[in-house]
Amino acid sequence: MTSLLYADTTQATATPPSPLMSMAPLLVIFVIFYFLLIRPQQKKMKTHKKMLEGVKKGDRVLTSSGFFATVVGVGDTSLEVKLAENLKVKILKSSVSEILGQEQTSETTDLPQEIKK
């Protein structure tokens, strides 16, 4: 009975986790964010930049504000576009969201399919 009272009084001390194991969840979260958020955004930016470098005079473009225009002049960071017959404006290249192709001569081909009706 006395042996139960005086049983081993030394406690098993737990060793602290290694610093690598305590940082592992953060590393896993970073890797997930990289593949789900950062990498796709970088890829999208790279393709948009490549598209803007290829814009040339005569291309039909869609601006980020929703205007369909024809490129009449190309600069380093800006484009001169024709929105209507007597209306030319200068815009930033970065405001072009899509290149639609070469200008066509017919007036009805300037409009998207939904508006032609």
pLDDT digits (tens, 9 = 90+) for 5-48: 555 555 667 777 787 788 888 999 999 999 999 999 999 999 99
For residue range 41-76, list pLDDT tens digits in order: 999 999 999 999 889 998 999 999 999 999 999 988
| CB neighbours of residue 81 within 10 Å | 24
Give the domain ranges of the chain: 18-50, 56-101
Q: Return the SS3 of 50.
A: helix
Among the four given CATH numbers 3.30.110.60, 2.30.30.100, 3.40.50.720, 3.20.20.70, the one describing domain 56-101:
2.30.30.100
H or E, element range at 16: none
Contact assessment for residue 102 and residue 58, using Cβ atoms and an 8 Å cutoff: yes
Residue 108: per-residue pLDDT:
44
Q: What's the whole-model pTM score?
A: 0.61
Please tell me the distance from the alpha carbon of residue 56 to that of residue 70, in angstroms, as a whole number: 10
Q: Give the total residue count for the chain.
A: 117
Please tell me the distance from the alpha carbon of residue 35 to that of residue 31, in angstroms, as a whole number: 6
